[in-house]
Structure 1
């Protein structure tokens, strides 16, 4: 069995997803809780989980800052008023810490299991190996060959022009 790592989404999509997550977490916190500490914990959990799934420290910090803006502007104050009191800075620190911690955990564990962006593929369903630009060779997926009752894998190679996929 083999595992194929799925690359994280581009940063542009992660930031947009972080914005949506920040808005939805604040809506959920506003509907579920009336106390500010409960709302902060709810938003922090969503920020941390989103950051772990996104596996990007840049999108994690952007999500935490956007969540802090919505939290401060609409759940702590009225009508989107941002304030910078010591309590607001503590909330910003909490959200940044959970976001960066979640992003770091996601980056470390990103290639471990199906829950964090890894797709399990059976041996026969593996796609061809990527182009090896240094040699100009594409390696096909191993094909099973029955030899005296045992399975052996053979790797077939196809030579391609050096202009295909050459690194510049």
Structure 2
């Protein structure tokens, strides 16, 4: 049992290394030995620091792997929200009349990784910045039309519903 965990962890680390090297190559667009060597050293350093600071979460990958369709639906919903919010924000900025607002919204997501995913998904959506999750409240900054109403509820609800499907409530869940 312990050998399979170690093997899985090493395969995961190798996969992470390959993915990060692909990002390095895509960003630098250089294939000379010096650039690739620096990239490999940076990737190895990041993965070793991550391994030292963060404990392995094998149960999380298993949990995500159990619901691949729900995960894909979440990613699709995030992409749709990203595009629609980008268009809305662009129109507000180009034609003026925008104002910011702080809100505290209740959240139903209880799983800590689910909350982290929701918080970052809302931040990725243009015109919104997630600031904090405290107890059952999500604090966000929202850009909307002056005197108007934005669709913050639609963004939050659609993303929250998809995250809650990936991380359903459990009676014995840690909070």
TM range, smaller chain: under 0.3
- TM-score with structure 1 length normalisation? 0.24
State the structure with more CA Rg: 1
